Structure 1
Amino acid sequence: MRTLTAGRLLPLLGTLLAALLCALGPGAGTASAHAALTATDPATGSVVPTAPQRVTLTFSEGVLLTADSVRVLDPRGERVDEGRPTHVDGRSGTASVGLRGGLVDGTYTVAWQAVSADSHPVAGAFTFSVGAPSKTAAKVTTAEVDPTVDRLYGTARYAAYAGFALLVGGCVFAGVCRSSRPVQRVAVGGWIALFVSTAALLLLRGAYTSGKGPGSVLDLSLLGDVLNTKPGAALLSRLLLLSAAAVFLAVLFGSFARGDDGRTGQERRDVAFGLGVGGTVVATGLAATWAMAEHASAGLQTWLAMPVDVLHLLAVGVWLGGLAALLSTLWAGDPVPVAAVRRFSRLAFASVCVLVATGLYQSWRQVGSWGALTGTAYGRLLLIKAGLVVALVGVAFFSRRWTGRLTDRAEPRKARPAAKNPGAAKVPGSTGAPGGAKSPGSAKNPAGGKAAGGRTAAGGKGGTSPERAAQLARQQAALTKAAGKRRRDADEGRSGLRRSVLAETAVAVVLLAVTTLLTGTQPGRSETEQKQAGAARATAPAAGPAEARIPYDTGGPNGRGTATVRIDPARSGDNTLDVRVAGPDGQAVDVPQLEVSLTETRKKIGPLRTPLKRLSAGHWQATGLQLPMAGEWQLTLTVRTSDIDQITELRNVKIN
């Protein structure tokens, strides 16, 4: 059976990660809108008798507004909104903007663009009419995220997650298990990746939410708008926390790690306690910058979801970042005490328990139903993530078995350096080496021995040249490194642990990619609710004529009869009103006076009247009856059968 090495595993990992991103990336992008427009005032497509003072939009969840979040265009395509859009009564799920006075009749277009509470951009448009519909010259294109900006933003988000994991995991491994140069490189590399990616996210944020191209990344006005939003504040807070993290790294891997600061044992314990408290505060603050600006900050139970999200991220960092630290230590061949490996094993197990508990809650909160688990993009990604976690735990089981087989062994004693001439030092491969090969500086080697005339090959006399000494030192270092790798590979327990940890790390890289895609995908619960609302609208009874049969009795001679009032199509906007009057025998009859009006009593609209035109005996009709909105309308019918005999009847009709 062939051994799985880094040379074979890393290309396979890259191929798997690329295929996963290609397969899942487009699907995630199409479902990135997390806030849906649920209502508008004036209603979409409605006709209002007079111009409103404001336009108000209502969303399924909170949205973040900018100066251009709501734009209202008149029939000529000119803006008629004034002032900055605001939330109604402090409700984050609303957006309202004022309109200028003296608006002319016609069709108005409302273009809106906002950022949902979990940091994803949403946009759309609708129309309403004042007085009567008209042609409009307004042209609105819905802003979409620029593809290049979208890819750069997604890459930066992945780098931020990876940097956070490496930073937290590397520091925890150094403090709890073992500090070394490879662990320091992991932690510092994580800090650099997190800092650079956060700065990139802050610069790309304006272009990402406004739908502009990469050229707008350095637009200071967009950057100012971003800093006034919750995601922008979170990113800026992350940069400030990283400055504190830099000080923490300097102390952790500086004099404290070297132990040359002259502190006593108690003083070092006090410093270690301070580092633990300070590091926990900084790591929690960094995790909170995600929780306060993404899925946990919107939807159900935000008061619980945000701290749970912080715990989830910390567990991910401790586990996956610690794996990277352990792998780098094993790969470098540095001695790792068995006690340190076992401490990390226990720490990783605790992290997995926290990860599973918090992940189950997050899954319930974001998915909500078994159907959404397989019927939405978020649910399918969540299943992939769960499968990767199971695979990771399975590989970790083998790592724990290898950990149980570890034993501490004494490191081989290093050879003493040559007393005088560095060029005369023996290196592996000399007369004492296997095969009996001579050293590069042996007497028979003209490159290292004397040339004719008693001088050295480099022209010196009585010793080796500096160039030759440097070459021998490089050879010695290479041979020592190769010997160290042979000793490392000869330890079966550590070699097996290194391979299993490498496999864990490979799965963790893909797991982070799926997690990044999840943060950019609409939660399954929200997607299911939107689909159900759309299905309810699709299956609702089609709008059709509304009809009311109204018996009347004016009390005079020939004062009894029935009026049938028909409104077609009984929708907001233009309607036709048809009235037929019949006597007790069912025959059509004329009456001296007939009037019909409609009133929306809740919103105090009306009464709306329209003149009726007699078409034939007992048949009247009116066209162009404008009803501004849907709802329950009160129909008022007035019938006069003589100069003194008259009656008014009331009925309710449903307008769609």
Structure 2
Amino acid sequence: MLRFLARLALIVVGCAALAGPCLAHAALVGSEPVEGSVVAASPDTIRLSFNEPVTPLALKLFYPDGRSVEPHGSAQNNDLIVELPATTDQGTYALSWRVASADGHPIGGTSMFSVGHASHRSAAAAPSSSPAIAVPIWLARIGVYLGWIGGIGGAFFLTVIAGRRPPQADRMVVALLGLGAIATAVSFGLQGLDELGSNLADLGSTAVWSAGLQSRYGETLGLGSVALLLAAVALRCRRRGLATGFATASLLMVAFAMTLSGHAGTAAPIWVSRPALALHAAAATLWGGSLLPLLILVATRHECAAPAALRLSAALLPTIAALVLSGATLAVLQGVTVTNLMETGYGRLLACKLALVLVMLALGALNRHVLVPRLATDGPAYGRHLRRVLAVDVCLLLAVLAVVAGWRFTPPPRSVAAMEAALRHRQMLHIHTDRGMAMIELGDRGSLDIRLSGADGRPMPAREVRVSLANPASGIEPLQRHATRVEEGRWSVDELTLPIGGAWTLRLNILVSDFDSLSLEGTLMVP
């Protein structure tokens, strides 16, 4: 028991010491030129600002006439600087971008601005990944978890807790390690497909595999591959001490590997989230990985089944305590509350996982207090009851892994909140021309706040302001509204109801005097 606690402490301390800097899930928070703005001359660069450092994956700039180029982009702290070719073309430009965030997840979008005036039509749309790769990514993630938790955890159980074991147990754990190795290798390519927005037909491309290898998740997969190898070596070692060392190193390595990417390991503060995730991963690997080997020991009526079950039962109490404590910590850091638990995809998956784990805990209590003591006192003949419960436990574990793999596609509440904040920030439109400027803000209740200024920056006097909003992509003709004057240079439109969200073309027709008028146009993002 003391040895087990010492190893568990070593895992946690090691992961905390190795933890490096990493930030939260990326979200675009601003751009320069401002999204939807109209500028007088073509800028030399476009600056995209994120809430964390990103790595550029793919960039494509669309000209007003539909031509496209692939500009060079470089990351500077939280900004992505894109160098634009020299051009005098006027109209709307669209920069299609795809980047990898610090947690390894690719995100993409399209940022638009106009030079001189807005075009009637935009040539570009935001890139999107093929839904066809979602299922292979999910299946591969389940295979990775089976290899890492079932294989590495199983090797730790057989070499450290069980000691002697039948050859069937070794063969089953080696099979899980092999499955994990295959799934890990395939995951490199699938990650590359997802980052580049490619389809399964491009899986043979060198660029796809290179992108997967260089990604943040690629680091996790690489370290996990080494952990799988160490677990296989541990099973083959004849010396108990050496096998224990390899198995412990494998468990330590896979626990640290899981902190290198993903949502949970990138929540702030890092000094809390990464050790908590390492502890959670280590505890889950110890508990989950021991179920199938113990089932084999009991099913084969091996002589070490009862002693191994007793040792595991004693070790699981602190393991489950660590699992619950670390899991609760991670849920809080991810922004999960009672309110959003069932309102978000992440929360619903968490609720499903909790329900499955609670059933496993109930079965574990039955094992600890009833079935395992009976097995030790009444002999292998009583093992059939324990065998049935362990079989159910293994099925529940598989369901848990399938649910956890679904988190790959669902951002946590904290990331959703950051994205919504970024979207609220982008509900502002700045139009700048040689004759005047307009700052338009869309309010929460459908109101438009319009601030007009002249070329000198002073409030622009105007006699009348008419607003036109259209969404040609959705077949919505222009909505016409008269703005109400609030004060010099400030106008408003109240109770403006837009049927759908997306990019709306906004035009201001400003009557400066009986003999002078000004027209300004830009794109307003509506949630």
| TM > 0.5 fold call | yes
| Aligned mate of 2:60, from 52, 64, 71 | 71
Whole-angstrom CA distance in 2 between matches of 1:612 and 1:55:
33
Q: Work out the CA distance in 2 between the residues paired with 1:284 and 1:571.
A: 61
Matches of 1:495 and 1:350 in 2, distance apart?
A: 27
Partner of 2:519: 624
Contact 1:61–1:116, Cα closer than 8 Å, also in 2:
yes
Equivalent in 245, 248, 260 of residue 292 of structure 1: 260
Task: State the match for 1:339 in structure 2.
Answer: 307
The correspondence of residues 510-529 of structure 1 with structure 2, limited to 5 A, is 510-529=399-418
Partner-residue secondary structure (3-state), 1:294: coil
Pair 1:118-2:23 in alignment: no
CA distance in 2, matches of 1:225, 1:169: 30
Q: Distance in 1 between matches of 2:169 and 2:89?
A: 70
Counterpart CA distance in 2 for 1:363 and 1:307 is 14
5+ unaligned residues in a row in structure 2: which ranges?
Answer: 1-23, 428-442, 454-459, 470-482, 490-509
TM-score (norm 2): 0.76
Amino acid across the alignment from 2:206: L
Work out the percentage of aligned pairs sharing the same amino acid.
24
Question: 5 Å matches for 1:165-204?
Answer: 165-174=149-158, 175-180=160-165, 181-204=167-190
RMSD between aligned residues: 3.5
Query: For residue 220 of structure 1, what is the aligned residue in structure 2?
Result: 206
Aligned partner of 2:387 among 485, 498, 517:
498
Q: Distance in 1 between the 2:520 and 2:150 partners?
A: 68
Counterparts of 1:322 and 1:373 in 2: how far apart (Å)? 30
- Counterpart in the other structure of 1:230: 216
C-alpha distance in 1, partners of 2:450/2:408?
A: 47
Contact 1:170 1:321 in 2 (8 A): yes
**Which letter does structure 2 place at the counterpart of 1:133?**
A
Q: Are the counterparts in 1 of residues 30 and 422 from structure 2 also a CA contact under 8 Å?
A: no
| Aligned positions of 1:73-222 closer than 5 A | 73-80=62-69, 82-83=71-72, 85-88=73-76, 90-91=77-78, 94-136=79-121, 139-174=123-158, 175-180=160-165, 181-222=167-208
Counterpart in the other structure of 2:503: none
1:449 alignment partner in structure 2: none
In the TM superposition, 1:137-536 aligns within 5 A as: 139-174=123-158, 175-180=160-165, 181-251=167-237, 255-256=238-239, 272=241, 274-400=242-368, 401-407=370-376, 491=381, 493-531=382-420
* Range with greater deviation from structure 2 (620-629 or 396-405): 620-629
CA drift at 1:81: 5.4
Amino acid of the residue matched to residue 359 of structure 1? Answer: G
Q: Give the C-alpha shift of residue 564 in structure 1.
A: 5.4
Q: Aligned pair in 2 of structure 1 residues 540, 53: CA closer, same or farther (>3 Å)? A: farther
Q: Partners of 2:270 and 2:123 in 1: how far apart?
A: 39
Residue of structure 1 in register with 2:36 after alignment: 45
Rate the CA distance shift 1:504–1:540 in 2: closer, same or farther, 3 A: same
> Alpha-carbon deviation of 1:541?
5.9
Pairwise mapping of residues 603-618 of structure 1 onto structure 2 (< 5 A)? 615=514
Asked if the contact 2:54–2:75 (Cα under 8 Å) also holds between the matched residues in 1, the reply is no
Take 1:408 and 1:233, find their aligned partners in 2: how far apart are those partners? 48
Alignment of 1:537-576 (within 5 A): 539=444, 542-544=447-449, 546=451, 565-566=462-463, 568=465
Within 1, Cα distance between the matches of 2:464 and 2:411? Answer: 42
CA positional deviation for 1:99: 0.6
1:15-73 per-residue CA deviation (whole Å, 9 max, x = no partner) reads xxxxxxxxxxxxxxxxxx9543221211111100111111121234443322x2x3221
Specify every segment of 5 or more residues in structure 1 that has no aligned partner in the other structure, as ranges: 1-32, 257-270, 411-487, 549-562, 573-577, 581-595, 597-610, 631-656
Report the Cα offset of residue 547 of structure 1.
7.8
Shift of 1:127: 1.7
Q: Is the 8 A contact 1:547 1:566 kept in 2?
A: no
Instruction: Please report how far the alpha carbon of residue 364 of structure 1 lies from its aligned counterpart in structure 2 after TM superposition.
Output: 0.6
CA drift of 1:347 comes to 1.7
How far, CA to CA, are the matches of 1:339 and 1:118 in structure 2? 42
Q: Which residue in 1 is equivalent to 2:15?
A: none
1:499 Cα deviation (Å)? 1.6
On the 8 A contact 2:230/2:246 being kept in 1, the answer is no
Count of aligned pairs between the two proteins: 444
Counterparts in 2 of 1:302 and 1:143: CA distance versus 1, 3 Å: same
Q: Distance in 2 between matches of 1:612 and 1:164?
A: 69
- Indicate how the Cα distance of structure 1 residues 627 and 195 shifts in structure 2: closer, same or farther if over 3 A, else same: closer
C-alpha displacement of 1:352: 1.0
Residue 182 of structure 1 aligns with an amino acid whose one-letter code is Q
Which one-letter code corresponds to 1:543 in the other structure?
A: L
* Cα-to-partner distance string for 1:592-626 (whole Å, 9 max, x where unaligned): xxxx9xxxxxxxxxxxxxx99862xxxx5332367
Distance 1:547 1:286 in 2: 58
**Superposition deviation, residue 389 in structure 1:** 1.3
Distance 1:627 1:120 in 2: 31
Distance 1:517 1:628 in 2: 35
Paired residue secondary structure (1:369) = coil
